[in-house]
Amino acid sequence: MSNREEIRKRLQAIFQEVFDDDELEIDDATSADDVDDWDSIMHITLMVAVEKEFGMQFNAEEIGKLSGVGGLIDLIEQRAG
């Protein structure tokens, strides 16, 4: 399994928890338009959960520019690398 796929799987569990939807499936193309309730408040809740899961912190500029799963995986990969 690629590192990217591993990150996606861990993110999927976070998304399901944050958005309270066990059926929620995400991929690189998933954006805020595809997920019910993905608004600014949920975005910040999501990012706090991601920071905790991956043991990293993002600044406001990074959080503010994200709009989809692909970009989030890129960011985690960059930070981990």
Partner 1 sequence: MDHLQVFLDHLREHHAVFYGAVAATAEAMPGTFRRVGAPMADWAHACLGDDFARVLAEGYVHLVIEANQAQMRYEKRGSYEHRSYAEVYEAAYGNEAFMTKYHWGLYVAMFAWVHHLRLFSFYEREFLPRLGEGLTEGGREVVADLGSGSGIWSRFALDAHPGLACVGVDISPTSVDEARRMAASTGFAARSEFVLGDATAHRLVEPAHAAISSFLLEHLERPEALLDNLAANLAQGGYAWITAALTAAEIDHITEFRRESEIVRLVEDAGLRVIATLSETPRAARSKLRFVPRSMAVVAQKRRNDIW
Q: Which residues would be at the binding site for partner 1 (CB under 8 A)?
A: 31-33, 38-41, 43-45, 48, 60-61, 63-67
User: Nearer Cβ to partner 1, position 2 or 21?
Assistant: 21
User: Nearer Cβ to partner 1, position 13 or 44?
Assistant: 44
| Least separation in angstroms between CB 3 and partner 1 | 25
**Distances 62 to 21, 22, 24, 39, 79 between C-alpha atoms, Å:** 26, 27, 24, 16, 11
Sign of CA dihedral 32, 38, 39, 41: negative
User: Nearer Cβ to partner 1, position 22 or 33?
Assistant: 33
